[in-house]
A and B are shown apart, each in its own frame.
Chain A
Amino acid sequence: QKEVEQNSGPLSVPEGAIASLNCTYSDRGSQSFFWYRQYSGKSPELIMFIYSNGDKEDGRFTAQLNKASQYVSLLIRDSQPSDSATYLCALLGWGKLQFGAGTQVVVTP
């Protein structure tokens, strides 16, 4: 079993709708969680991190963490074509990041 699991997609989302991405993890000791966005042919860039249970909002993005159920999610509100990318979930353990394989999101006009 992979330590960080994501649905590979593609997740097709109409423009203006909410995209919901999920990530589950196996290491209960993980404390910090990150969402990176990666455009095709580009390197990953950080969207946001979360380390407390609950929701964290940053603009159109909301990260949700539930440590008891071992999942972290990312919501993208009012999805735009520029949000079309692969979204990588990562968790921090022992000073290093463990990445999921990523979920491809396609926002359709």
Chain B
Amino acid sequence: DVKVTQSSRYLVKRTGEKVFLECVQDMDHENMFWYRQDPGLGLRLIYFSYDVKMKEKGDIPEGYSVSREKKERFSLILESASTNQTSMYLCASSLSTSGTAEQFFGPGTRLTVL
């Protein structure tokens, strides 16, 4: 079974703090993704990566950065957390970006910024 893990289920940070969200997958997948999920808005793509050290902006990259130094690990960084970044953050991975490639999701990190 594919397993995608995220470093924390719940996280509380203060405005202005630097926040790191870690994601690890154990199936040698090429592609990894970071989404945020908000009520009524669905999942929105923040950043994704096709390969080590590669990154592509998604639909809402502002205020975020990412790092992929190893194939299995994809980190999301909030340089200076703000209250509007309070959300559920979901990491996903897929074997490829072909038309039928399934994305497997981690359990999510619920981030609250005070």
Interface contact A45-B45, CB-CB below 8 Å: no
Q: B12 at interface (Cβ–Cβ under 8 A)?
A: no
Name the distance in Å between B61's Cβ and chain A's nearest Cβ. 12
Q: Decide: A42 and B102 in contact? CB cutoff 8 A.
A: no
Verify B90–A43 contact, CB threshold 8 A.
yes
Instruction: Point out the residues of chain B lying under 8 angstroms from A43, CB to CB.
Output: 90, 105-108
**Counting CB contacts under 8 A, is B50 at the interface?**
yes
The CA of A97 and the CA of B40, in the complex, are separated in Å by: 17
Q: Is the interface of A mostly helix, strand, loop or mixed?
A: strand
A-B contact number at CB 8 A: 50
CA distance A95 to B45 in the complex (A): 12
- CB of B99 within 8 A of CB of A88, answer no
Q: Given the known inter-chain contacts A32-B100, A43-B90, A43-B105, please indicate yes or no for A96 contacting B58, CB distance below 8 A.
A: yes
- Which 3 A-B pairs rank lowest in CB-CB distance, beginning with the nearest? A95-B97, A101-B42, A43-B105
Residues of B whose CB lies within 8 Å of any CB of A are 31, 33, 35, 40-45, 48, 50, 58, 90, 97, 99-100, 102-103, 105-108
